[in-house]
Amino acid sequence: MRVSLRWLRELVAVDLDVTILADRLTMAGFEVEEIEDRRTWAEGVVVGHILACEPHPDAQKLRVCQVDVGQGEPRTIVCGAPNAAAGLYVPVALPGAYLAKIDLKIRPAKLRGVKSEGMICSLAELGLTKESEGIHTFTDAVTVGQDVRPLLGLDDVILHLSSTANRADALSMVGIAREVAALTGAPLMLPTPKAIAPKKSRAKAPVQLAIADPQACPAYCGTLMTNVQIGPSPPWLQQRLEAAGLRAINNVVDITNYILLKWGQPLHAFDWDRLQRVAAQTPVKARGAFCQGGRNPENLGR
């Protein structure tokens, strides 16, 4: 299990040094196998604004960019990413920066005869993805010259935990927060969910729920949500998932994974239109069941 220290501190007011906290958790049966300090991954990387982007005079796949990094005159930076363009706000590693995940010290250099005074970075070069999809671009409001680490979730420390006891209650962020509160005496700061009054309706439920094994699955709940717009999740949610080792898919899938990570409550979203097509004219029936040995569960959503 991967525990974001920044997220944990939103749930419990603990200010212990991370190594001391790791020792406390280990002694309580939650062995900390690794402390991943992301704060060192992007030192010296700031937000830059590409003012101009022209083809390199001597290299077909390179571009020469004029980039404002908030330090006076724009920097000339040679970039090979195909998505580089004027007007973008991007992470820029300045000379002197060290990109720990690719073991690269940034220095001024000439690339095919043009001096380059920095490096425009992809998420892969900052250690956040395995494969590069071009330089990263900021879509939310940012300030030229500001440290990119808070914007990308790189002002965080990740604890890699391994539970040595049968403690399913603690395999979530809230569960670990409760454990830390018990170990340290720090006050919990758990959010209080808002009460939602059920709406009474005489209409027949559009979905019928059935439980195959009530002893193994005492409760299976569902609801129908309409007018849902599928799209990318906000950056803060994508960062939470990435810190936990999950890949962002879309806002619907991501929020179900987020609830699982935070509260330990499994959720799954089904495509209502697809279920209706499968059921044809008959009522849609959702049946809670367990897979038999050697069989894989069938996933309706990707």
The secondary structure of 120-179, three-state, reads: ECECCCCCCCCCCCCECCCCCCCCCCCECHHHHCCCCEEEEEEECCCCHHHCCHHHHHHH
State how far the Cα of 41 lies from the Cα of 59, in Å rounded to an integer. 30
Region class of 147: left (phi > 0), else alpha (psi between -120 and 50), else beta: beta
pTM: 0.81
The mean-pLDDT minimum among 18-27, 201-210, 268-277 falls in 201-210
CB 248 within 8 A of CB 12: no
State how far the Cα of 60 lies from the Cα of 58, in Å rounded to an integer. 7
CB 14 within 8 A of CB 54: no
Query: Token digits for 222?
Result: 């569902």
Query: Token digits for 67?
Result: 């980039």
State how far the Cα of 94 lies from the Cα of 120, in Å rounded to an integer. 9
Residue identified by tokens 């690339």 is 111
Residues 174-219 have pLDDT tens digits of 999 999 999 999 999 998 888 887 777 666 667 777 788 888 888 8
The mean-pLDDT minimum among 28-32, 86-90, 173-177, 278-282 falls in 278-282
Domains and CATH numbers, the chain: 2-39+154-184 (3.30.56.10), 43-151 (2.40.50.140), 207-288 (3.50.40.10)
Per DSSP, helices labelled H in the chain are: 5-11, 18-27, 149-152, 173-184, 235-243, 251-263, 272-279
CB 99 within 8 A of CB 126: yes
State how far the Cα of 200 lies from the Cα of 194, in Å rounded to an integer. 19
The mean-pLDDT minimum among 63-77, 145-159, 202-216, 239-253 falls in 202-216
Would the pLDDT of 45 be above 90?
yes
CB 142 within 8 A of CB 151: yes
